[in-house]
Structure 1
Amino acid sequence: MIGAHVLNIAKQDYVPQGASVTVLISEGPVVEVPKEQLKELPGTLPESVVMQLDKSHITVHTYPEYHPSEGISTFRADIDVSTCGEISPLKALHYLIHSFDTDIMTIDYRVRGFTHDINEKKLFIDHDISSIQNYIPESTKALYDMIDVNVYEEHIFHTKCRLKAFDLDNYLFGHTKVELSPDQIRGITSRLKTEMDEIFYGKNMA
Structure 2
Amino acid sequence: MRLLTLILCFCCTPLFAQQISGQVIGVSDGDTATILTADRKPVKIRLAQIDAPEKAQAFGERSKQSLSELIYGKNVTVEVETIDRYKRTVGKIIVGGVDANLEQIKRGMAWFYVQYGKDAKYLDAEAKARSAKVGLWSEAAPTPPWEWRRSGKTTIKSNSTQSAPVYKQQSSTTNASSFTCGSKRYCKEMSSCEEAKFYLQQCGATKIDGDGDGVPCEKICR
Alignment TM-score, normalising by the size of structure 2: 0.28
Relative contact order higher in (CA < 8 Å, ≥ 6 apart): 2
Alignment TM-score, normalising by the size of structure 1: 0.30
